[in-house]
Amino acid sequence: MSALGKLLPWRRRSRLKRLSTFEKVSAVFLVLLSIFMLLPIVYILNHAFKPYQELFVYPPNIFVRHPSVQNFLELLAITKGTAVPVTRYMFNSIVVTALGVFLITLVSAMCAYPISKHKFPGHKLVFATILLTLVFVPETVLIPRYLVVSKLGIMNTYLGHVLPLVAVPTGVFLMKQFIDQVPDELLDSAKMDGAREFTLFVRIVIPVIMPAIATIAIIAFQGAWTNTETSSLFMQDEEMKTFPFYIDTLTTGMANNVARQGAAAAAAMLLFLPNMITFLMFQSKVIATMAHSGIK
């Protein structure tokens, strides 16, 4: 073994010795707290593979004892004899989520850029009005949203799913905070070199606000992927409704509380996994956004 190999374990031990008793206790507490917070995730993943005899065990078991894919087969079989298969609901959710994430991030960035850098007359009032919308609960805008979607004639279309989700005040706020840190001198020098607004926005502004874009993309993904409002209000055609709406109807109107619970468990896992994977992929950007917002 080389001298470096002998030195590394000694360095690790020396770092542990430098920790105070309070720091060691805090580290142990945080590890236990992390394990405790992981239990709901472990339960969801295991619950989807439980056979019916384990779904209703009391007290409930966190870990599955006899894994089975029967719940997923049941989920596929429910719509086998209907005009709209479960894969259609999932396809709609994928399309709506992809369009929603793209448009929400794009609109938020394009709204924040002129407010931050162009400072047109009344830009502070516009920004304050956008932030003011945060105080309104979603129920207060249901009727105006319905009227807008109806008058535009986009009922039973993918745009009818996406358009009500595009306005995200949180996205505009975070984007503006990041764009504020771009030096005005840098933009002015690029303009003197012949760069137009589109070039400034794409080549200079967008790279700076990538952490904010990732954060808004996660928020937009969670909102669009789990949304049932647009399917309930704006979609009359069953083939245009999304997977979360289908999950809500799985156990609705059942004569007992046992029927389709296995399919509901499998569907819940399928609905949860994309959210977890998306967050894990962009968590470093989210942390950078939160750190910047705190420093700002």
Query: Is 104 a residue whose pLDDT tops 60?
Result: yes
Same domain, 150 and 58: no
pLDDT of residue 67: 86
The average pLDDT across 29-33 equals 91
What is 165-193 written as a DSSP string?
Answer: G---HHHHHHHHHHHTTS-HHHHHHHHHT
- pLDDT single digits (tens) 119-153: 888 888 999 998 888 888 877 888 888 899 999 99
Q: With a threshold of 0.75, does the pTM exceed it?
A: yes
pLDDT of residue 108: 92
Same domain, 177 and 209: yes
Same domain, 14 and 125: no
Same domain, 160 and 267: yes
Q: How far apart are CA 260 and CA 52, in angstroms?
A: 10
The average pLDDT across 214-233 equals 89
Q: How far apart are CA 193 and CA 196, in angstroms?
A: 9
pLDDT of residue 86: 85
- pLDDT single digits (tens) 58-87: 787 888 888 888 888 888 888 776 778 888
Return the ∠ at Cα 224 (arms to 136 and 140), rounded to 5°: 20
Exposure of 151 by Cβ count < 10 A (0-12 exposed, 13-18 middle, 19+ buried)?
exposed
- pLDDT single digits (tens) 225-273: 989 889 988 998 988 999 999 888 876 655 456 667 888 888 888 888 8
How far CA 111 is from CA of 160, 179, 217, in Å, comes to 21, 11, 16
Show which of 76, 103, 138 is a domain's final residue. 76
Q: How far apart are CA 282 and CA 214, in angstroms?
A: 6
Percent of the chain with pLDDT over 70: 86
Position 105 confidence tier, pLDDT thresholds 50, 70, 90: very high
- Residue with the larger pLDDT of the pair 112 and 20: 112
Task: Kindly report the CATH number assigned to the domain that includes residue 204.
Answer: 1.10.3720.10
Same domain, 68 and 151: no
Q: How far apart are CA 42 and CA 74, in angstroms?
A: 22
Query: Is 3 a residue whose pLDDT tops 70?
Result: no
- Residue with the larger pLDDT of the pair 72 and 9: 72
Task: For residue 94, give its domain range.
Answer: 78-295
pLDDT of residue 296: 46
Same domain, 108 and 63: no
Show which of 43, 76, 109 is a domain's final residue. 76
How many distinct structural domains can be found in the chain?
A: 2
pLDDT of residue 253: 54
Query: Is 100 a residue whose pLDDT tops 90?
Result: yes
Same domain, 151 and 277: yes
pLDDT of residue 7: 47
Among the residue ranges 16-20, 21-25, 159-163, 182-186, the one predicted with the least confidence is 16-20
pLDDT of residue 84: 83
Query: Is 4 a residue whose pLDDT tops 70?
Result: no
pLDDT of residue 247: 85
